[in-house]
Amino acid sequence: MLARVATIVLAGVVTFASGATIDVERRDAFTDCLSNGSPSGAVVTPSSSNYGSARAAFNQRLSFKPAAIVFPSSPQDVQKYVNCAASAGVAVVGRSGGHSYAAYGVGGQNGALVVDLSKMKSFSINGSGVAKIQTGHRLGEVAQKLWDNGQRALPHGTCPYVGSGGHAAFGGYGPYSRVAGLLHDRITAAEVVLANGTLTTASASQNEDLFWALRGAGASYGIVTQWTFATLAAPSTVIGYSIDYSSTLSASKIASLLGAWQSLAMSAPKEMAMIGVVGPDGDGGLYLQFTGDYYGSKSSFNSATSNWASELSPGKITAKTYNWYDSLIATDGPLSVTSPGPKDTFFAKSLFTKQAVSSSQWTSFLNYLYNQGANSDTDWFVEIDLYGGEIATQGADATSFAHRDAILSFQLYANSKNLQPPFPSDGISFVDGMLNALEPNPQAAYVNYVDPTLTNSQWKTQYYGSHYSRLSSIKRTVDPNNVFRFPQSIGLN
């Protein structure tokens, strides 16, 4: 793999990770290239008064210093900025919503050019439900506009602040995914600026290899400025449900309940979205909740869950009937968001399971959470999402997402209790211990819950599996100089 070339603007020179420097003249030439023809405020550099806020990461545990942050208004602006960076040898990253867990939206290292897409919000949809959506949209905005234009829907995640660019590029799981696939399974074309500055289209019939790579590892290949989606008619009825436990549960009881829930999940109809959440209850114990949505009638839901009360006892089941839009509001809150949302200070890991979690694994995991969790200086939670359904019916190589055969997805998340820095000193080791108690030899993880502490070998295997070799080959073709790079980007070999 080519050495990653990161630049740090210090003392009037640009210093590369290799130790080489370029002079003020070249640094100024790069800045001038970006600024030439750009409107006021479109280019933010370290000397700009708003540089600090522009470079701030969603995850405040991490802080990086980009060479510049640019705010294009059109694909042509993106082309110009990419050409400037490529000529100067500066790494380029895109930022759609800025919610990368590893702050890759600000480079993940010092010295990158950040292409912030927040001003690019063109939206159109035709009578067949084909929507062209620029990647400056956040998921909440996408959902709102789809509903307002014919009550259409897509299978996206539940956080309205997350950007549509990165979410789709790395998979895009949401509650509706068991019915309709991952968000990127609904993509029919991508408009993308490549490393040589060209604006091109990738689809199943044009630039097919690039199209495959963009749906699973998109940030390594270019700046996607627009997705084209085949949207769906929004389901007419959604049953939102929860199963809550009012009494304190022991670690062994929660382990038993999770095993029972997993058994129910593995035989559930694809219309059933299922989520389990475990966290500290504030009194030295743990809480457990099961939630989800059912996309069908109340009578069908009742039939599908007829044995849940006995299998998940003593939980209390509550359910409410919504239309699609109201179900989104109930889960996500207001959709018309334009800001990144509240920041956090956290560390997370993830795991995909490809077979049922054993009783001994559940016991080991819950014993760890019950004992070490009570002593951690962090706030924390574990979220478990059911995959399968339409996600799994796609071919294993349909897109570059490598884990179509996943059964459960675990997100292991710990943050500072007031959401602010500093991150507790035991936080990373505590989350590492969570994963080790559940699965000491993880082989699959979700790149949208990216973990910057993984080694090169670990992230290549866990995120991309057998697809990495093909992804690297495509990288050599479309970005031979490794312009689009960050600490866990697809490499040239």
Query: What CATH number did the domain enclosing 111 receive?
Result: 3.30.43.10
Asked, for residue 1, whether it belongs to a domain, the answer is no
Asked, for residue 128, whether it belongs to a domain, the answer is yes
The reported pTM is 0.95
The pLDDT, as a whole number, for residue 25 is: 82
Count of alpha carbons within 13 angstroms of residue 102, beta-carbon side = 21
Name the residue range of residue 315's domain: 238-322+344-457
The amino acid that residue 17 corresponds to is A
> Tokens 């490809």 sit at which residue?
354
Residue 141 predicted with pLDDT over 90? yes
Asked, for residue 473, whether it belongs to a domain, the answer is no
Asked, for residue 75, whether it belongs to a domain, the answer is yes
CATH number of the domain within which 370 lies: 3.40.462.20
Same domain, 167 and 247: no
Distance CA 160, CA 487 (A): 27
Q: What is the dihedral of CA 445, 449, 451, 456, to 10 degrees?
A: 50
The pLDDT, as a whole number, for residue 23 is: 67
Same domain, 415 and 437: yes
The pLDDT, as a whole number, for residue 370 is: 97
Among residues 193, 212, 234, the one where a domain terminates is 234
Same domain, 184 and 100: no
Same domain, 259 and 370: yes
First to last CA, the chain: 5
Among residues 63, 83, 116, the one where a domain terminates is 116
Same domain, 440 and 315: yes
Asked, for residue 477, whether it belongs to a domain, the answer is no
CATH number of the domain within which 195 lies: 3.30.465.10
Asked, for residue 485, whether it belongs to a domain, the answer is no
Please say whether the beta carbons of 221 and 214 come within 8 A. Answer: yes
The pLDDT, as a whole number, for residue 1 is: 33
Residues 177-195: pLDDT tens digits?
A: 999 999 999 999 999 999 9
Same domain, 425 and 448: yes
Same domain, 255 and 179: no
Provide the pLDDT confidence category of residue 336 given band limits of 50, 70 and 90: confident
Please say whether the beta carbons of 349 and 434 come within 8 A. Answer: yes
Domain count, the chain: 3
Among residues 81, 116, 151, the one where a domain terminates is 116
Same domain, 130 and 112: no
Asked, for residue 366, whether it belongs to a domain, the answer is yes
Look at 11-20, 101-110, 268-277, 340-349 and tell me which has the smallest mean pLDDT: 11-20
Same domain, 82 and 134: no
Provide the pLDDT confidence category of residue 7 given band limits of 50, 70 and 90: very low
Same domain, 112 and 251: no
Same domain, 36 and 73: yes
Asked, for residue 134, whether it belongs to a domain, the answer is yes
Provide the pLDDT confidence category of residue 399 given band limits of 50, 70 and 90: very high
Q: What is the mean pLDDT of residues 237-262?
A: 97
Same domain, 357 and 242: yes
